[in-house]
Amino acid sequence: MPCLEGMIMTGENKYKGKVLVAGATGRTGRWVVSRLQHYSVPVKVLTRSADKAASLGDVEVVQGKIQSDEDVAKAVEGCSAVISALGSSEVFGDASPGEVDRDGVMRLVDQAAKAGVRHFGLVSSMAVTKWFHPLNLFGGVLTKKFEAEEHLRSVFGEDGRSYTIVRPGGLRDGEPLLHDLHVDQGDRLWSGWINRGDVAELLVVSLWNDKARNKTFEVINEAEEEHRQDSLEKYYDKLAS
């Protein structure tokens, strides 16, 4: 888990707009906030718990629920980009895949478009098109994520807007830039692991990397051995147009 409190900003500010992070207090969302702060990008978060958000450091906090159109509209106001790290934690109820991974993301997409957001980054999952994958036993989570992906592509794939959808393998807590990565397209991967920090880094650099525009791709570690990376932007060069 990244340590955010008292963090020193060390990266060049390559993006001038404010970014809303949804799911910011989750394990992947915290890494997204951390990497945005690394590049000195202003961050806004939508969270149910202001107390949990206090540990994120210097961020603008909107307390609210992803199930509320009003709360989501307030959260996206004034932002030029959104990164969603939303993820369900229960099979039923407000934290279920239907409420969060599908409807929550779709609500966020719609309100972002209305507010004039130009770019939307989404943490999805490897195997979202494989209904028979074991992960889908958790409330049909993969199917729900894919429905949200399709909605994002339809709304942000035109009219001067753009999207980047990252489909990671199994997520592990860990710093970014420590491993060679393997990227693929077409949902052909079945297994593999990746650090949450790398998923966050890929979505953050998508804010300013033109080759990340309107791309959907899977990503896992190439190997378990560590190999320090200077940047992850080169992986966008490997994607089909």
Can you give the pLDDT of all 241 residues of the chain as single tens digits? 454 433 334 567 889 999 999 999 999 999 999 999 999 999 999 999 889 999 999 999 999 999 999 999 999 999 999 999 999 888 888 889 899 999 999 999 999 999 999 999 999 999 999 988 888 778 889 999 999 999 999 999 988 999 999 999 999 999 999 999 999 999 999 999 999 999 999 999 999 999 999 999 999 999 999 999 999 999 999 999 7
Query: How far, in Å, CA of 134 to CA of 105, rounded?
Result: 22
Question: Helices then strands (H, E): number in the chain?
Answer: 6, 10
| Domain regions of the chain by residue span | 19-238
CATH match for 19-238 among 3.40.1350.10, 3.30.70.150, 3.30.342.10, 3.40.50.720: 3.40.50.720
Instruction: Round to whole Å and give the CA distance between 140 and 210.
Output: 33
150 Cβ partners below 8 Å, 6+ apart? Answer: none
Tokens of 130: 């494989």
pTM, rounded to two decimals: 0.93
Beta bridge partners of 19: 43, 81
